[in-house]
Amino acid sequence: MNLGIPIERLNNALDKGLMIITGAALLVSTLLTFFGVILRYIFGISYEWNEELCRYCMITIVYLWAGAMIRKKQHISFTLFSDRLSPRNQDVHRFITDLLTLALGLPLVFWGFELVAGARAAELRTLSLLFPLWPAYSIVPIGTILLVVQAILDLFRLGIILFCKTPQTVR
């Protein structure tokens, strides 16, 4: 049984869900910023919670979409070096990059859980909205888990390409 197809379906479903969440966060952030500017400079009204909510929307967008960006190879990267490599060496380069992503992502996951637990134990709240901070902080480990999972899946895909004897059409 080819495990690539169910994993790809799961990835596509996850991407659709994350696209809806991050798209909604982007829309909310854009509208809040637009109306905040109008209210501040035309009517002289300013709300403290506006900037805070925009900040949490942006954090949501960045952390939740980072894993999908790895999968789609859309992260900002310097390709001056890697573009000059042969296709096989490009795969080796990407494999090493995924290993580094995994090595840096796993400690970030554990730190994120400590951050959430600390905020929950201390009952920290946002300054203007007075909401608990731990749900906002939970975006860090959740987003990093998604990033690490995508790096692991990419490592499996590249491992098949690089280390299997028979040619694969996994690209």
Q: Are 130 and 59 in contact (CB under 8 A)?
A: no
Fill in the amino acid letter for 60. T
Does the structure show a pLDDT above 70 at 4? no
Please write the tens of the pLDDT for every residue from 62-121.
Answer: 999 888 887 777 777 788 888 898 988 988 998 999 999 999 999 999 999 999 999 999
- Of the candidates 58, 72, 94, 68, the residue with the CA atom closest to the CA atom of residue 146: 68
Would you tell me how many other CB atoms lie within 10 Å of the CB of residue 141? 20
Kindly list the domain boundaries of the chain, sorted by start residue: 4-163
- Which of helix, strand or coil describes residue 122? coil
pLDDT of residue 170: 53
Do the beta carbons of residue 95 and residue 162 sit within 8 Å? yes
pLDDT, average across residues 17-41:
94
The phi and psi torsions of 10 (rounded to 5 degrees) equal -65, -45
pLDDT-above-70 percentage for the chain? 94
Neighbour count for residue 20 (Cβ, 10 Å): 10
Tokens in use for 133?
Answer: 């901070």
The tokens describing 90, both together, are: 């490009």
